[in-house]
Amino acid sequence: MPLLGVNIDHIATLRQARREFDPDPVKAALVCQDAGADSIVAHLREDRRHINDDDVKRLRRALRIRFNLEMSINPGIVAVACRLKPDQVTLVPERREELTTEGGLDVKKGFNKLKACCRKLADKGIDISLFIAPDKVQIEKTKDLGVPIVEFHTGSYAQARTAFSRQQELKRLMGMAAYATKLGLTVNAGHGLKYHNTLPVALIRGMNELNIGHSIISRAAFVGLKQAVREMITIIKARS
Ligand code: PXP
């Protein structure tokens, strides 16, 4: 059964709409923890548009479950991570203009920069994951880097417009999960996963953890955060 990591960025997005104190992402993370989430994900963006430095410090102190810090390889952010020592870091590409993380890392192109960054993080004892497309070359380059975890970007699957293309994307995720597992990598996935499209991804053989944010926080507006997390856990852990 895959684990569930809840991304709480959008709690901070709501706070930043007024630049005040409510809602507090740390309080939200503790509710997710109580509801049975296995980890908390927060993206410290270079522009601090939602999660800020104080949030990640407080999350580090408050959480009993794993804290997965999502971030770019920007040297300033890497320095924050090295001081903070979260349980895990997930490296993602980051563009200022984007609304959300639009694609996976190009591990082949960025190999040397990623290598230097991963060495710094690994020296601090932080587990490292790379957010990549479900693609053979990206998987192989991740393996070459010595990074033990991949997170597959599920955006193409989630945004597929027809049942046929969705099925094709699912097959691709399944094939690449099998390939990465064969190479000894741990496989996670996330992006665009909703209550209606998560089960097939949760059923992929070897899937270790799904990281889900927007759909859970959106549902929380209607049913409360605890209930929203529990409903997603029921879907993910419903496999036979
Ligand atoms: N995993 C990664 C690496 C992400 O960048 C995001 C989006 O912040 C997610 C998972 C969660 O995506 P969503 O908010 O669409 O569930």
DSSP for 46-82, written as a single string: TT-SSS-HHHHHHHHHH-SSEEEEEE---HHHHHHHH
Q: What is the CATH number of the domain that holds 40?
A: 3.20.20.70
Q: How far is the CA of 133 from the centre of ligand 1 (A)?
A: 13
pLDDT confidence of residue 40:
98
Residue with the bigger pLDDT between 240 and 222: it is 222
For the record, the structure tokens of 183 come out as 């190479």
Atom of ligand 1 nearest to the CA of 215: 16
Contact in structure between 152 and 189 (CB atoms under 8 Å) = yes
How many independent structural domains does the chain possess? Answer: 1
Q: How far is the CA of 224 from the centre of ligand 1 (A)?
A: 20
Q: Is 43 in the pocket of ligand 1 (CB under 6 A)?
A: yes
Atom of ligand 1 nearest to the CA of 101: 5
Residue with the bigger pLDDT between 101 and 141: it is 141
pLDDT confidence of residue 240:
43
Nearest CA to ligand 1 atom 5: 101
Judge whether 191 counts as a catalytic residue.
Answer: yes
Return the SS3 of 28: helix
Q: Is 94 in the pocket of ligand 1 (CB under 6 A)?
A: no
Q: What's the Rg (C-alpha) of the chain?
A: 17
For the record, the structure tokens of 202 come out as 């949760």
Give 183-202 pLDDT, tens digit per residue: 999 999 999 999 999 999 99
Q: How far is the CA of 162 from the centre of ligand 1 (A)?
A: 22
pLDDT confidence of residue 102:
76
Q: To test ligand 1's pocket by mutation, which of 210, 211, 212 has the most ligand atoms within 8 angstroms of CB? A: 211
Buried/exposed 2-13: b ≥16 CB within 10 Å, e otherwise: bbbbbbbbbbbb
Q: How far is the CA of 78 from the centre of ligand 1 (A)?
A: 19
Judge whether 50 counts as a catalytic residue.
Answer: no
Give 142-181 pLDDT, tens digit per residue: 999 999 999 999 999 999 999 999 999 999 999 999 999 9
For the record, the structure tokens of 117 come out as 């960054």
With DSSP H G I counted as helix, E B as strand and the rest as coil, what are the percentages for the chain, rounded to 5? 45, 20, 35
**pLDDT over 50 at 223, yes or no:** yes
Q: How far is the CA of 230 from the centre of ligand 1 (A)?
A: 18
Atom of ligand 1 nearest to the CA of 193: 16
**pLDDT over 90 at 103, yes or no:** no
Collect all residues with Cβ–Cβ distance below 8 Å to 237 and sequence separation of at least 6.
Answer: 1, 2, 202
Among the residue ranges 17-31, 97-111, 199-213, the one predicted with the least confidence is 97-111
The Cα–Cα gap between 89 and 91 comes to: 6
Contact in structure between 88 and 126 (CB atoms under 8 Å) = yes
Return the SS3 of 37: coil
- Which of 36, 22, 83 has its CA nearest to residue 64? 36
Q: Percent of the chain, pLDDT > 90? A: 94
Q: Give residue 136's pLDDT band: very low, low, confident or very high (50, 70, 90).
A: very high
Distances (CA, A) of 231 to 32, 123, 185, 194, 205: 12, 38, 29, 11, 22
Range of the domain at 26: 3-236
Q: Is 213 in the pocket of ligand 1 (CB under 6 A)?
A: yes
For the record, the structure tokens of 76 come out as 């300033």
Return the SS3 of 156: helix
Burial of 66 (0-12, 13-18, 19+ CB in 10 A): middle
Q: To test ligand 1's pocket by mutation, which of 101, 210, 229 has the most ligand atoms within 8 angstroms of CB? A: 101
